[in-house]
Amino acid sequence: TTKPEQTEKKLREILPKSHWIRVNRLFVRFGQEICLPIHPKCDSCSLNAICSKDFTMEMAKRSKKKKK
C-alpha cells in the first residue's frame, strides 16, 4: 500500500481482532527503533529486501519541511 490508512485497512482484513493491540505495539516499536522518519536504520532492518523505501523517504521529506 502507499498510504498508512490503506495499510491499516488491509491489516484489519487479515489479522484476527485479538491480535490488533499486540501488532500495533510491535509496529510502533519498529517505527521508534528501526524505521525512523529521519535516518532510518535500513541496514539493520529485516524487511529491507522487500521495502520500497518510498514511504520512509516521503516521511523524511515531510519532516525536513516542518523544520523550515
Residue 40, classified by CB atoms within 10 Å of its CB into exposed (0-12), middle (13-18) or buried (19+), is buried
Do 1 and 10 form a contact (C-beta atoms < 8 A)? Answer: yes
pTM of the model: 0.64
Domain spans in the chain, listed from the N-terminal domain onward:
4-67
CB proximity list for 35: less than 8 A, separation 6 or greater: 41, 45, 56
Structure confidence at residue 60 (pLDDT): 63
What confidence tier does 4 reach under pLDDT thresholds 50, 70, 90? confident
pLDDT greater than 60 at residue 64: yes
What is the per-residue pLDDT across 5-42, written as a single tens digit (0 to 9) for each? Answer: 998 899 999 999 999 999 999 999 999 999 988 888 98
User: Which grid coordinates belong to 4?
Assistant: 498508512
Q: Tell me what percent of the chain is helix, strand and coil, each rounded to the nearest 5.
A: 70, 0, 30
> What is the pLDDT at residue 66?
64
